[in-house]
Amino acid sequence: MEMTVNKTLVENLKGAIRDVPDFPSEGIIFKDITTLLKQGERFKEVIDLFAARYGPGGPVPGVEAIVAIEARGFILGGALAVALGVGFVPVRKQGKLPAQATRMTYELEYGRDTIEMHQDALSAGQKVVLLDDVIATGGTAEATVRLIQGVGAEVLETAFLIELGFLPGRSKLEALGQSVFSILKYD
């Protein structure tokens, strides 16, 4: 399921992302994608890359829905779902969805968090791609994979605009047997 991305395009996309030092806490360099999103051409290039991968003729065929994680994942996931003509499923923090939801609680570095998805959002056997903006430590993505699998749907691949390769997110997902695709990697 390999797919190479043109090096010039990668550099253009990386150049459109702003680094914000010490956010959300001291010592962190936050990769702010809002500067990429405001550039229509760059935003379209990102969606086109994902669509080429998950659309007809791409290396990961048969996608029936895009599952995306709150909040920046919604921006990418919604646009990709429209481009592919498939459904969109939001995964939100606890208490944000209006109907009956299934939930998954997971450990953070300091504490716990809970995510939810509507109980009727996916059906058993449905083939989905999990999409988010960044894979870092992988806790939220791992919990989302477990949530999707818990309702019997199949995660074809986990996908991210940005991968922070110096953190354990990829290995955490691969330990679950998940394929991981990222457009931009920072080591």
Q: Please identify which of the residues 26, 41, 109, 112 carries the catalytic annotation.
A: 109
With beta carbons less than 8 A apart as the criterion, state whether 70 and 93 touch.
Answer: yes
Burial of 73 (0-12, 13-18, 19+ CB in 10 A): buried
Which segments within the chain are labelled E, that is strand?
18-21, 29-32, 65-69, 87-93, 101-108, 111-118, 127-135, 154-164, 180-186
Gap between the terminal Cα atoms of the chain: 22
Is 72 part of the annotated catalytic residue set? yes
Q: Please identify which of the residues 42, 72, 103, 170 carries the catalytic annotation.
A: 72
Which are the catalytic amino acids? 72, 109
